[in-house]
């Protein structure tokens, strides 16, 4: 017996509900699929299946999925497995799918995700491209830049491997040069004014992009992006449009922590994965950029959702217009159950509230930094000022390697990391998944291994 698409989607939802209701009742929140309690932090923690055996202080590395994201992934997976073509075709391709049937019953989910991301970021869906990770976003942006020999990419010594390598690849391809500058010399004297002054002094006539990282995974330092953007705007006023310096930001360790509209930070391009502080599906990310910035790039991977590119190809002519976020949203078949569930991750954070998340993260980091700063044998590097720090804390234990600190904490059921840079530090990341009692436990265990 045949069924309509509407009947199929309805039956998939009923099946999911039945599966959810048959789960173990060990977790009271999970046992009530229609109830989402986010009124207190223990209730929010209960949305995650993270084992209680450990204290988790590395969510920035790869996160657990909260219940709404898990259920969305499962819902979409079941729908795709039950009827792949009639699920994927309209959800990915919208009205220009290949099936040739009415698509009103199934949402255009690729666009739904872009809209949810834009709502969280404070921008427009038309300016958001979907990617698979921060690394992929960096590669797409830098490989797409239309640079020339003699032009320069200015970056800093503080950025991470994928950022530096994406820049190097772009320079090798285009003949542009790369220059790295230090934004500060000492954690004790670091200031917003020093950072902005060094950037002002670092810009040269041939500089075409300024590439920075919002929150440094190497040290926990948070850059004053708005102040940097303001200084760059002053310098760009005296340049022709084609010579304007683009501000490109790797924002992954501020995105999901800070109470900021990305579209209002002042940068031209913002790149982030969403499987870290956004608690989104693994293998997902976004790039937001201003219209003028997109126009200075060229796509690397053909888009499946850009109808004008499809039509130009079918009619055997070049597409008209400039590059935009739709052109830069990479095609190719994907684990769509993860991509589509990105929308649920953004909605989840919006339900909690960006301000609440920022305040909670700051409070737990303050507690942790204050405790570390008061210990003998501990050297704290991350600034304590919120204007220069976010959710990462870097420190040393005297006489102990960072990997040794991490291993000794792991033996105490505390998951932390070390920074994977030439100069490595021990690193903690209190988040909304942490509690003040857990931070007290962590501080007590660090004190126990620190030299007296």
Residues facing 418 on adjacent strands? 426
**Pair 377, 301 in one domain:** no
Residue 100: predicted pLDDT: 59
**Segment 430-451, tens digit of pLDDT:** 999 999 999 999 999 999 999 9
Report how far residue 369's alpha carbon sits from residue 119's, in angstroms, rounded to the nearest whole number: 33
End residue of a domain, out of 329, 351, 373? 351
Mean pLDDT, residues 253-278: 97
Mean pLDDT, residues 215-231: 98
Question: Looking at the predicted structure, is the pLDDT value of residue 150 above 50?
Answer: yes
CB neighbours of residue 112 within 10 Å: 15
On whether residue 101 sits in a domain, the answer given is no
Closest CA to 441 of 56, 60, 63: 56
On whether residue 13 sits in a domain, the answer given is no
Report how far residue 102's alpha carbon sits from residue 120's, in angstroms, rounded to the nearest whole number: 31
Residue 107: predicted pLDDT: 76
**Segment 45-58, tens digit of pLDDT:** 999 999 999 999 99
Query: Which helix (H) or strand (E) covers residue 236, if one does?
Result: helix 225-236
Residue 111: predicted pLDDT: 93
**Pair 339, 367 in one domain:** no
Question: Looking at the predicted structure, is the pLDDT value of residue 12 above 50?
Answer: no
Whole-structure pTM value: 0.90
**Pair 308, 275 in one domain:** yes
Closest CA to 33 of 66, 67, 63, 3: 67
**Segment 275-311, tens digit of pLDDT:** 999 999 999 999 999 999 999 999 999 999 999 999 9
**Segment 73-115, tens digit of pLDDT:** 999 999 999 999 989 998 998 766 777 554 445 678 999 999 9
End residue of a domain, out of 351, 366, 393? 351
**Segment 226-254, tens digit of pLDDT:** 999 999 999 999 999 889 999 999 999 99
On whether residue 161 sits in a domain, the answer given is yes
Average pLDDT for the chain: 90
**Pair 123, 255 in one domain:** yes
**Pair 159, 275 in one domain:** yes
Residue 137: predicted pLDDT: 98
**Segment 363-397, tens digit of pLDDT:** 999 999 999 999 999 999 999 999 999 999 999 99
Closest CA to 395 of 386, 387, 385, 405: 405
Mean pLDDT, residues 328-332: 95
**Pair 211, 275 in one domain:** yes
On whether residue 85 sits in a domain, the answer given is no
Contact 118, 127 (CB under 8 A): yes
Largest CA-CA distance found in the chain, in angstroms, rounded: 76
CATH of the domain at 237: 3.40.640.10
On whether residue 79 sits in a domain, the answer given is no
**Which whole-number Å values give the CA distances from 331 to 129, 132, 301, 326, 417, in the listed order?**
11, 11, 7, 10, 34
Residue 395: predicted pLDDT: 98
What DSSP assignment string belongs to 94-145?
GGG-SS-S--TTS--HHHHHHHHHHHHHTS-GGGEEEES-HHHHHHHHHHHB
Range of the domain at 363: 354-449
Report how far residue 318's alpha carbon sits from residue 301's, in angstroms, rounded to the nearest whole number: 16
Closest CA to 368 of 297, 283, 269, 434: 434
| Paired tokens of 221 | 């330092």
**Pair 341, 428 in one domain:** no
CATH of the domain at 439: 3.90.1150.10
Mapped onto helix, strand or coil, the DSSP state of residue 330 is strand
On whether residue 68 sits in a domain, the answer given is no
Question: Looking at the predicted structure, is the pLDDT value of residue 26 above 50?
Answer: no
Report how far residue 195's alpha carbon sits from residue 249's, in angstroms, rounded to the nearest whole number: 15
**Pair 277, 382 in one domain:** no
Residue 105: predicted pLDDT: 57
**Pair 243, 378 in one domain:** no
Report how far residue 369's alpha carbon sits from residue 40's, in angstroms, rounded to the nearest whole number: 24
Report how far residue 418's alpha carbon sits from residue 410's, in angstroms, rounded to the nearest whole number: 12
On whether residue 97 sits in a domain, the answer given is no
Alpha helices in 353-401 (DSSP H): 354-373
Residue 301: predicted pLDDT: 97
Report how far residue 60's alpha carbon sits from residue 392's, in angstroms, rounded to the nearest whole number: 9
**Which whole-number Å values give the CA distances from 230 to 199, 210, 388, 394, in the listed order?**
11, 13, 17, 29
**Segment 183-214, tens digit of pLDDT:** 999 999 999 999 999 999 999 999 999 999 99
End residue of a domain, out of 320, 351, 382? 351
**Pair 431, 342 in one domain:** no
Contacts of 34 by beta carbon, 8 Å cutoff, 6+ apart = none
Report how far residue 240's alpha carbon sits from residue 179's, in angstroms, rounded to the nearest whole number: 22
**Pair 206, 287 in one domain:** yes
| Paired tokens of 320 | 């008209």
Residue 94: predicted pLDDT: 77
Q: Out of 9-18, 242-251, 260-269, which region has the weakest mean confidence (pLDDT)? A: 9-18
**Pair 257, 404 in one domain:** no
Domains of the chain: total:
2
| Paired tokens of 408 | 């000794």
On whether residue 35 sits in a domain, the answer given is no
């Amino acid at each position: 017996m045949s069924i309509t698409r509407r009947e199929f989607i309805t039956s998939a939802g009923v099946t999911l509900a039945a599966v959810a209701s048959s789960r173990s009742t060990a977790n009271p929140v999970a046992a009530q699929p229609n109830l989402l309690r986010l009124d207190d932090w223990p209730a929010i923690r209960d949305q995650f299946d993270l084992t209680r055996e450990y204290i988790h202080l590395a969510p920035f590395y790869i996160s657990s999925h909260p219940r709404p994201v898990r259920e969305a992934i499962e819902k979409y997976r079941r729908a795709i497995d039950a009827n792949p073509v009639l699920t994927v075709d309209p959800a990915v391709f919208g009205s220009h799918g290949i099936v040739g049937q009415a698509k009103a019953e199934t949402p255009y989910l690729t666009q739904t995700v872009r809209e949810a991301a834009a709502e969280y970021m404070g921008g427009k869906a038309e300016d958001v491209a979907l990617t698979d990770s921060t690394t992929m976003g960096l590669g797409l942006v830098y490989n797409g830049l239309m640079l020339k020999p003699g032009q320069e990419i200015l970056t800093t010594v503080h950025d991470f491997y994928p950022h530096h390598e994406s820049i190097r690849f772009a320079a090798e391809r285009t003949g542009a040069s790369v220059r790295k500058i230090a934004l500060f010399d000492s954690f004790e004297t670091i200031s917003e004014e020093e950072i902005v002054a060094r950037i002002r002094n670092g810009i040269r006539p041939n500089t075409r992009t300024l590439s920075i990282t919002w929150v440094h995974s190497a040290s926990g330092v948070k850059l004053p992006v708005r102040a940097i953007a303001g200084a760059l705007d002053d310098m760009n006023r005296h340049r022709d449009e084609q010579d304007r310096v683009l501000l490109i930001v790797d924002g992954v360790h501020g995105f999901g922590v800070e109470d900021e509209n990305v579209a209002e930070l002042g940068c031209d391009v913002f790149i982030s994965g969403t499987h870290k502080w956004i608690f989104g599906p693994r293998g997902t990310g976004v790039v937001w950029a201003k219209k003028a910035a997109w126009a200075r790039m060229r796509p690397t991977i053909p888009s499946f959702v850009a109808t004008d590119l499809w039509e130009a190809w079918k009619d055997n002519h070049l597409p008209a217009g400039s590059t935009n976020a739709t052109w830069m949203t990479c095609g190719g078949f994907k684990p769509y159950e993860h991509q589509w569930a990105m929308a649920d991750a953004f909605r989840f954070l919006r339900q909690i509230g960006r301000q609440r998340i920022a305040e909670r993260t700051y409070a737990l980091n303050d507690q942790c930094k204050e405790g570390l700063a008061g210990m003998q044998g501990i050297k704290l590097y991350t600034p304590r000022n919120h204007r220069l720090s976010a959710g990462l804390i870097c420190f040393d234990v005297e006489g102990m390697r960072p990997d040794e600190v991490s291993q000794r904490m792991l033996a105490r059921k505390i998951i932390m990391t070390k920074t994977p840079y030439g100069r490595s530090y021990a690193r903690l990341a209190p988040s909304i998944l942490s509690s003040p009692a857990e931070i007290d436990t962590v501080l007590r265990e660090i004190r126990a291994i620190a030299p007296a």
